[in-house]
Amino acid sequence: MDFKHDILPLKNIIFRVALRIVLNREEAEDIVQDTLLKLWERREELEKVDNMESFALTAARHLALDRKERMDNQLVSLDEEVHDQPEGQGGTDASLMHRETQGFIADIINALPEKQRTILQMRDIEGKNYKEIATTLSISESDVKVTLFRARNQLKEKILQKKSLFL
């Protein structure tokens, strides 16, 4: 096993999973470092692991859940670049509406329970299949499907509620 070739490429995926759980960029970065450090310390044992990505994501998930229990998180937008722009830039009505819509969707996703948020991200954003998600989260495929269905329904309900306010 080559750490640089097999494990380091997973850092972006680990970051996204950690960010979905803790909703704090700095904490997610710390979780990535801690996960990589733990994997480095156990590098001899990793030869026995069948699915390295699933193993790494499970380790990161556990670390993130532990951190989340210890901290009081504030919601963070999925698109932080919107907040980094100086006032008055990108001021077309279409771009303003687009940013507001993105922020609204991000807020809805961030308000979902952790399990729903994680599964929604893994399936709809990262494109993982049900089996990969089930393995990573140590749950059944049917639980993945049910949880994903519930998360999507909540998204749909909130969007329809917002839409009905403007009609």
Q: Is CATH 1.10.10.10 correct for 91-166?
A: yes
Second CATH level (architecture) for the domain 3-70: Orthogonal Bundle (1.10)
Whole-number pLDDT of residue 70: 74
pLDDT of 18 > 60? The answer is: yes
Domain ranges of the chain: 3-70, 91-166
List, for residues 55-70, the tens digit of each pLDDT value: 888 899 889 888 887 7
Alpha helices (runs of H) in 10-121, residue ranges in sequence order: 11-22, 25-41, 52-70, 81-84, 93-111, 114-120
Length of the chain: 167
In contact, 26 and 74? CB cutoff 8 Å: no
d(CA 115, CA 6): 27
DSSP character string of 108-148: HHHHS-HHHHHHHIIIIIS---HHHHHHHHTS-HHHHHHHH
Mean pLDDT (the chain) is: 82
Identical fold, 3-70 and 91-166: no
CA distances in angstroms from 158 to 72, 154, 155, 162, listed in the order given: 25, 6, 5, 6
Cα dist. 46→53, 63, 132, 136, 147 in Å?
11, 18, 19, 16, 30
Look at residues 101, 102, 99 and name the one whose alpha carbon lies nearest to residue 89.
99
Question: What is the arithmetic mean of pLDDT over 107-128?
Answer: 87
